[in-house]
A and B are shown apart, each in its own frame.
Chain A
């Protein structure tokens, strides 16, 4: 834990970004407590930092939604939004800017990203400023659908593995095309040779995703188990495991974590399995008109002492589990990127009892992560762990 680079936002500017017409703020190294009534734009500040980190708005939102609807009107311009962040990153200063402008036609929006003064592609910006975000919908990590857990993994791995990000984007396109082909299967439909290209690509890209996820979940599981034990000692071992539609025996998956030198090696092995499963599922996928095996159908199992937490755990245990996973995210990002991520807590403190709240804030402070935290109630932000953070009241 010694040589970790510090990452912190120093200065943030929002222009026509959601409800903020113009907002500039300086953020102290320890972070910021943000409070104010509902609708005052607290979440938006965190979302802006998330946008600069991941290049994407928060879950379920589109780039277009970020634009203040009346912006640009008095200037005769198309509506637009701009976010600029000045960050400390391992001793250097990084200026990241996102500019989004609505298109002339339809609901399109164009996003341009800059690092320093130079335009960059999204893939080159993701991972530059690592963040861990903890918002109310993260509480669904245990109870929600598999897609929420897959997205959690995708966001985490995209920040730490460039190859993953590239494969992820391309996999989605190949999958859509392959499913398009499967939907047209009928008497006159596509022949086997039309599948060759899509199958090859699906396996090559998907194998990397599965291999990277299996290895990341193994690391995450270890850290989360340790975190859980500290938060709730002695109630059982907290277990995370990657559950793949490429079902193989447990020892095979374990070997995948321990033996190969790197993810590429591991992906080679997964590829053999993926290809076999794809062949086996041929009848089923033609009947259903979709690809039924692959990383897009996988999940993470969450258990306490061998029992599925979503079904058998108490509400409190499920909460602790989510906190443990979020803290483990810091551990994984720190160990793979050698950077301390910025930690963003949006509105979840009110969902936790005082004991858990304190434990969460203390753990983040102990990691020396910069912490930005929002709440509707200022009292929830009065915590010794937040002594050195600044305060921002929105109204």
Chain B
């Protein structure tokens, strides 16, 4: 937003800060700011405290590197989880998405990114060494490589698989293919091709 004499400095400061958040443009940032200006002091303080607490109390689990406020995290400690299987994901949000399916009862390992040499991200910048140490320690039966199905995710999955297979660990990659409720005729060729390659017997 361009500076204006009509805008008090604290207002434009918050607009700028909010505008730096993903998915929020200048318009949304002003709307949120003016909303907060009118909101009760309690509501504004609650938001400020929530943000502070996020930075002060949340850190990474030393086992799975997911975000947590206890170490090890609740999921790593949960006795009902299947400890023979580890699912490797790029980001904490990916683990959350898998959790929501309710289909997965094993443990996670969060890499915090994917291999991308252009951006200077090699295996050493990810939690891959920690994964290999963990696998040696815990000897799971299977490691699921659930990195994203794009070039960088594929590269990461393959790099890890090449380290795990000689160690005698079964590795797998989630099937990619047709969305549930979708129409075959609208699927693009790549998706359809992958779905055919990964087909299952009935």
Contact = CB atoms under 8 A, between A and B. Distances in A.
A104 B26 contact: yes
A177 B117 contact: yes
Interface of B is mostly: helix
B120 A194 contact: no
B151 A177 contact: yes
Contacts of A255: none
B97 interface: no
A197 B155 contact: yes
A190 B152 CA distance: 16
A104 B25 contact: yes
Contacts of B155: 177, 197-198
A178 B162 contact: no
A174 interface: yes
Most buried by B among A173, A181, A201: A181
A279 interface: no
Contacts of A197: 154-155, 158-159
A229 B155 CA distance: 50
B117 A166 contact: no
A317 B188 CA distance: 45
A297 interface: no
A184 interface: yes
Contacts of A176: 118
Given A184-B122, A190-B122, A194-B123, A178 B117 contact: yes
* Chain B: interface size category: 20 to 34
B6 interface: no
A124 B158 contact: no
Contact of A196 (B26, B158, B190): B158
Interface of chain A: mostly helix, strand, loop or mixed = helix
B157 to A, nearest CB: 9
Contacts of A104: 25-26
Contacts of B122: 181, 184, 190, 194
A170 interface: yes
B133 interface: no
B188 A184 contact: no
Contacts of B118: 176-177, 179-180
Interface string A107-124: 000000000000001011
Contact of A162 (B117, B119, B152, B189): B189
Interface in A158-183: 162, 166, 170, 173-174, 176-181, 183
B151 A184 contact: no
Contacts, number: 52
A181 B123 CA distance: 11
Contacts of B117: 177-181, 183-184, 190, 198
A181 B190 CA distance: 27
A193 interface: yes
Contacts of B159: 193-194, 196-197
B116 interface: yes
A194 B189 CA distance: 29
A184 B163 CA distance: 21
B162 A193 contact: yes
B27 to A, nearest CB: 8
Contacts of B120: 180, 184
Interface string B89-122: 0000000000000000000000000011111101
Nearest to A198: B155
Contacts of A105: 25
A180 B155 CA distance: 14
Interface in B157-188: 158-159, 162-163, 188
Nearest to A118: B186
Query: Most A CB atoms within 10 A — which of B25, B117, B159?
Result: B117
Given A173-B151, A198-B155, A166 B190 contact: yes
Contact of A177 (B25, B116, B163, B190): B116
Interface string B116-144: 11111011000000000000000000000
A367 to B, nearest CB: 31
Contacts of A123: 188
Contacts of A174: 151
A116 to B, nearest CB: 13
Contacts of A190: 117, 122
A121 B158 contact: no
Nearest to B155: A197
A389 B45 CA distance: 72
A112 to B, nearest CB: 16
Nearest to A104: B25
A214 to B, nearest CB: 24
A194 B159 CA distance: 7
22 contacts: A104-B25, A121-B188, A124-B188, A162-B189, A166-B189, A170-B151, A173-B151, A177-B116, A177-B117, A179-B117, A179-B118, A180-B118, A181-B117, A184-B120, A184-B122, A190-B122, A193-B159, A193-B162, A196-B159, A197-B154, A197-B159, A198-B155
7 shortest A-B CB distances, which residue pairs? A180-B117, A181-B117, A180-B118, A104-B25, A197-B155, A197-B158, A177-B117
Interface of B: 25-26, 115-120, 122-123, 151-152, 154-155, 158-159, 162-163, 188-190
Interface of A: 104-105, 121, 123-124, 162, 166, 170, 173-174, 176-181, 183-184, 190, 193-194, 196-198, 201
